[in-house]
Amino acid sequence: MTIALYPGTFDPIHNGHIDIATRAAGLFEHVIVGLYDRPAKRLLFSADERAQMARLALAHLPNVTVQLYSSLTVDFAGQIGASVVVRGLRAISDFEFEFQLALTNKKLAPGVETVGLMSSLEYLFLSSTILKEVALLNGPVSDLVPPHVEAALQQKAAT
């Protein structure tokens, strides 16, 4: 069985992430969405909140599960038996960073391949950073996230 790891912080998960996970689910027998719980960036949601939102957003995909991790991504891939790391690509700037990351991961774990899936056109601009800024300033995000994520963003904006 081919297990793929789709890693990220998913703070919060949005329709672009869901699109990549859905497409990966069609390519691989099992996809584990790995939520990195200790990134070196400021998070809006806790690891448990992010995992809960991701699980609900991806519940329609029977071969996709969500797990938290705090190690190197390739180490986590080894722990779960993943031979593929899936990454979403939006723009040239993404490609440059992801290419460097893929080469580093290949050096650290030669048996793990990186597969980049191009973002769908309707999500090409979408990032969690931009999404959070719009939502926290009470901008419309209903067409960018599932309803439960929109509600969580609205709750954070109200506090």
**pLDDT tens-place values along the chain, 159 residues long:** 799 999 999 999 999 999 999 999 999 999 999 999 887 778 999 999 999 999 999 999 999 999 999 999 999 999 999 999 999 998 877 888 899 999 999 999 999 999 999 999 999 999 999 999 999 999 999 999 999 999 999 999 888
pTM assigned to the model: 0.94
Could you tell me the domains of the chain?
3-158 (3.40.50.620)
Secondary structure E strands in 38-118:
64-69, 84-89, 113-118
Q: Which residues pair with 35 in a beta bridge?
A: 8, 68
- Judge whether 128 counts as a catalytic residue: yes
- Judge whether 14 counts as a catalytic residue: no
Using only C-alpha atoms, what is the Rg of the chain?
15
Phi/psi at 4 (nearest 5 deg)? -115, 145
Angle at 50 between CA 61 and CA 83, to 5 degrees: 55
Question: Residues 30, 119, 128, 132: which is the catalytic one?
Answer: 128
Question: Residues 23, 90, 106, 156: which is the catalytic one?
Answer: 90
- Judge whether 17 counts as a catalytic residue: yes
